[in-house]
Amino acid sequence: DIYDNGSNEILFSKVLKDHRNELFLCTKFGIIRGPNGEFSVSGKPEYIWSGLYRSLLTIVDTIGALAELVKVKYIGLSECSAETLRRAYKVHPIAAVQIEYSPWTLDIEISGIMEACRDLGVTIGRYKSIDDFKSDDFRRLIPHFQGENFNKNLEIVHKFNEFAEKKGVTPGQLCLSWILAQGDNMIVIPGTRKFKHFEGNVEAVKVKLSSEELVEIRQIINSIEIIGNRYNDFFMK
Residues with active-site annotation: 3
Integer angstrom CA distances of residue 41 from 33, 57, 65, 103, 113: 9, 10, 17, 28, 21
How many CB atoms are closer than 10 A to CB 114?
A: 22
**How far is Cα 70 from Cα 88, in angstroms, rounded to an integer?**
18
Q: Give backbone dihedrals phi and psi of 37, rounded to 5 degrees, phi first.
A: 90, 0
Q: Bin 228: left if φ > 0, else alpha if -120 < ψ < 50, else beta.
A: left
- Helix, strand, or coil here: 54? strand
DSSP, res 191? E
C-alpha distance from residue 2 to each of 27, 33, 75, 228 (Å): 8, 9, 16, 24
Q: How far is CA 152 from CA 131, 148, 175, 225, in A?
A: 18, 6, 19, 9
d(CA 100, CA 23) in angstroms, rounded, equals 22
CA-CA distance, 108 to 28, in Å (whole number)? 20
Q: How far is CA 120 from CA 4, 58, 65, in A?
A: 32, 20, 21
